Structure 1
Amino acid sequence: MNRKETDIYDITIVGGGPAGMYAAFYSGMRAMRTKIIEAKQELGGFMRTYPEKLVWDVGGVDPIRCERLIDALERQAKTFDPTIVFGQEIADMQRSEDDIFVLTSKTGEHHYTRTILLCAGRGMTQVQKLDIEGANRYELTNLHYTVTDLSRFKDKCVLISGGGDSAVDWANEMEKWAKQVIVVHRRNEFTAHELPVAQMKAFAKVMAPYRIARLYGEGDQIETVAIEHTENGAIEKIAIDEVIVSHGYDRDFGHLLRWGLAKEDYGVSVDLRMRTNIPGIFGAGDFITYGSKVRLIAGAFQDAVLAVNSAKLYLDPAAPDMAGVSSHNARFFEKNKAIIQG
C-alpha cells in the first residue's frame, strides 16, 4: 500500500457532528495535523434533523436556532484548516507494522493516521416511521418526521406522537405557532427532561397512555387520527391539521463496532480520559459512554477536549496535558491581531 509521509495525519476524526467539529478546532490548538471524515455531504451530524429547534443549553450562547449553531461550529472547526472529507463511510480499520492506522472507506479510499477519534454520534440514523397501513401516502403532505419550517404550523391543530426530548421540544416550539397542540404518548411517563415536560403540560393537551391507531383522510391529507388507549383499548378520534411523529431513530454504526471496541448498552466504553480499549483510538460525543457521561452538546465539547488531549499525549508523552487557554495560545496571536485591527 503506497503512501507518502504527507498522507499521514496526527489525528483523524470520524464524524462531523458537534463533538467532531469542536475536536477539529481543539486539535488545531494543539498543533495537530487533523482530518475529519464525514459519511454525509455536510457537517452537523444529528443536529441536522432539527434545524429549526431552539438550543438553550450551550454555555455562554443565547438561545439559538440549531442551524445557526451548526454554522458557528463549522466556522470554528475550520479555524486551523483541517482536511475535511465528505461522503465516505469507514468500512475497515487496520494497523500497519509501523503503528499507523489505515482507515478504508466504502468507496475504496485509504486514510492514514497516527490516532483515531470516533465521533460517530448516533451513527447512520434512520427515522422510526409510523407502522400503520397507508401512513406513507401522507408523508408528502401533513405527516412529518421532522420539522424544517415552523411557520407551516401557524394557526393549525397539531398532533405530536412521542415522549422523548425531540417530541417534547417540538411541542414547546409549537406553542407560539399552533392553534392547538395535542401530544400523544404510549406511556404515562415521559422520558424527556423534566422542565420541558412541565412547560409542555402547561399549555398542550397531553393524552397518555395512548398511541396512534389509524389515520383517516381524503386523498393525501390526514383529516382525523384515531388514538387507542394502550391499557384499556378505548378509541378516540381527533380532527387535526398536521401530524408530527417523533418515535426516535434506528442507529447503525456500520463497521465501527467490528473493530473489537469494548461497548455497553449505550455506546462504546471509554475511560475518564476518553480512551477506548484499543490504544490510539479515542471517542467523544453520543458514540461513547462512561460513568459521568453528559448527553448534551455541551458534554460533547468536554469529551472532545479530553479525547484530543489524550491523543496528543499518546503521540508525545512529554507534551503539556492540555492546550493553553485561547488568550495565551500562540496559535491565536496573528488571528487576534487581524481581528483587533479589522
Structure 2
Amino acid sequence: MKEEIDSCYDVTIIGGGPSGLFAAFYAGMREMKTKVIEAAPYLGRKLPYYREKFLFDVGGIQAITAGKLVEELEAQARTFGPTIVLSQLIEKMERLSDGTIRLTSHIGETHLTRSVVIAIGGETLVPQKLELPNTKKYEGRHLHYSVDDIEQFRNKRVLISGGGDSAVDWAIALASIASFVGIVHRRSDFRAHEGNVSKMRNSSVHVMTSSQIKEISGDEEHIELVMLEQTETGNISSLEIDEIIVCHGARPELSGIKDWGLGIEQNRITVDAWMQTSIPGVFAAGDVVDYPGKLPGLIAGGFMEGPAAINRAKAYLDPHEEVRPIWSTDNEVLMAIHSRA
C-alpha cells in the first residue's frame, strides 16, 4: 500500500531509551515532526530491568529510581506530541529516489522519514531467556523478563532466577508484598552489590545458591511447580510457585543495522562531533556511538548527544537556514505549560 505524503516525518528516532526520549523532546522544541520507534514493548531501554534501583549520576537530581526516571523522560518526550511506536524492531533502511528514507520493521511495517537518529543504547537488548520446555506458553503472563507493575506479585509465591543486581533488587522489593520469595542462582556467590546481598540474606527471602531451574510444570494457564537442581550434587527438589522472574541479563544485538552501510567498530557506530554517521541524514547518539573522547555508560552524555544529533538533522533538512541555538526558556509552548501549572 502506498504511503501517504503526510506520513513522512522530519526525524525518526530509533530507540526509546534516555538518549532517544530526550532527543524527541528537543526535536519538538525545534518544531520537527518526530517519531520514536522502540523494539521493546515499553520505553526506557535498560532502565525497566532495574526499575526499583536508585540512580545517583543524573545531573541535578540527587537520587531517582530507574522507573521514576523513565516516567519523567516519557512525560517530557511527549510534550510536543511525537508519534511513539512500540514492539517494532527496525531491520531495514533504504533511501528512495526522492531522498526520503524508508525504514522497515520486523513485522513488515514501513516508516517514511527525512532523517534518522539511531539511539539504541548498547545495541538492541534481547533478554537472555530461560531455555526450558513449557516456558513459551507462560512468557508475558507468569514468566517475566521485565516487570512493569510490582503489584501483580502481591500475595503470590515468586521465584527469581539470577545472581546480579536486578535479581537481588527484585528479591528485596518483593519480600514485603509477596507471600513467598525465593531466589535461585547457579553460582555460590552473588554478583550484586554487597550491601544489598546482605540485606536480602537478612530478609525473608529464601536463598538457594549453586542451584538452577530444571523444569517448570503447570496447566495451560498457570505455573504450579518448579523443579530445582543442586548443581554440585545433582539433587532435585520441588517448589510450588505462582510467578517466575528471570534476571539473566540481556545480550546485545545490532541486528540488521550492521548491513546498513554505517561505519561500525567494535559494535559501536562511529560518528563525528555532530553525531553524523557515514550516511548523510543518519545520525546516532548514546551508548551505541563512538568518537574520540566518548564517555560511555553515562546517561548525561546521551542528553548532550541527542540534541547535537537533532541540531545537525535540522541543518541537513534545511541547508539554507541557519540553525541557531535554542533554549527551553524561550519556548512558548513550555512557558504556557508552566504558567498553567
Fold agreement, TM-score > 0.5: yes
On the 8 A contact 1:158/1:240 being kept in 2, the answer is no
User: Percent of counterpart pairs with the same letter?
Assistant: 34
In the alignment of these two chains, the number of paired residues is 328
Shift of 1:174: 1.4
**Does the C-alpha gap of structure 1 residues 265 and 181 become closer, same or farther in structure 2, counting only changes over 3 Å?**
farther
Cα deviation for residue 83 of structure 1 reads 4.9
Aligned to 1:260: 261
Distance 1:105 1:174, change over 3 A: same
Cα gap change, 1:94 to 1:210, in 2 (>3 Å):
same
Q: Give the gaps of 5 or more residues in structure 1.
A: none
- Give secondary structure in 1 for the equivalent of 2:75: helix
Counterpart position of 2:34: 35
2:25 partner amino acid: F
* Counterpart residue type for residue 222 of structure 1: E
Match of 1:22 in 2: 22
CA shift in 2, pair 1:92/1:155, >3 Å: closer
CA deviation map 1:213-271 (0-9, x unaligned): 33466895433532332xx3443525343432222345555432211223355543445
Secondary structure of 1:33 counterpart: coil
Kindly provide the amino acid, as one letter, of the partner of residue 174 in structure 1. Answer: L
Counterpart CA distance in 2 for 1:109 and 1:141 is 29
Counterpart mapping for 1:179-328 below 5 A? 180-188=180-188, 190-192=190-192, 196-197=196-197, 199-203=199-203, 204-215=205-216, 221-229=223-231, 232-235=232-235, 237=237, 239-241=239-241, 242-249=243-250, 253-270=254-271, 274-288=275-289, 291-294=294-297, 296=299, 300-312=302-314, 319-320=323-324, 322-324=325-327, 326-327=328-329
Q: Bigger shift: 19-28 or 154-163?
A: 154-163
| 8 Å Cα contact 2:39-2:90 kept in structure 1 | no
What's the counterpart of residue 336 of structure 1?
335
> Partner letter of residue 258 of structure 1?
D
* C-alpha distance in 2 between matches for 1:4 and 1:214: 51
Aligned-partner SS, 1:132: coil
In the superposition, the TM-score normalised over structure 2's length comes to 0.72
* TM-score (ref. length: structure 1): 0.72
The verdict on how the C-alpha distance between 1:287 and 1:172 changes in structure 2, with shifts beyond 3 A counting, is: farther
Distance 2:264 2:202 in 1: 40
CA contact (8 A) 1:24 1:34 kept: no
Deviation at 1:202, TM superposition (A): 4.9
| CA separation of 1:260 and 1:178: change in aligned 2, threshold 3 A | same
Match of 1:103 in 2: 102
| Paired AA for residue 53 in structure 1 | R
1:147 positional shift: 3.3
RMSD of aligned residue pairs (Cα, Å): 4.3
Deviations 1:148-207 (A, max 9, x none): 443444455533111344323322321322355432223456555666555545534544
**In 1, are the aligned partners of 2:214 and 2:226 still within 8 Å (CA)?**
no
Q: Distance in 2 between matches of 1:12 and 1:141?
A: 32
SS state at 2:339 partner:
helix
Q: 1:43 to 1:303 in 2, by over 3 A?
A: farther
The alpha carbon displacement at 1:282 in A equals 2.0
One-letter code of the match for 2:244?
V
Paired with 1:338 and 1:137, the residues of 2 have a C-alpha distance of 45
1 CA distance for matches of 2:94 and 2:135?
44
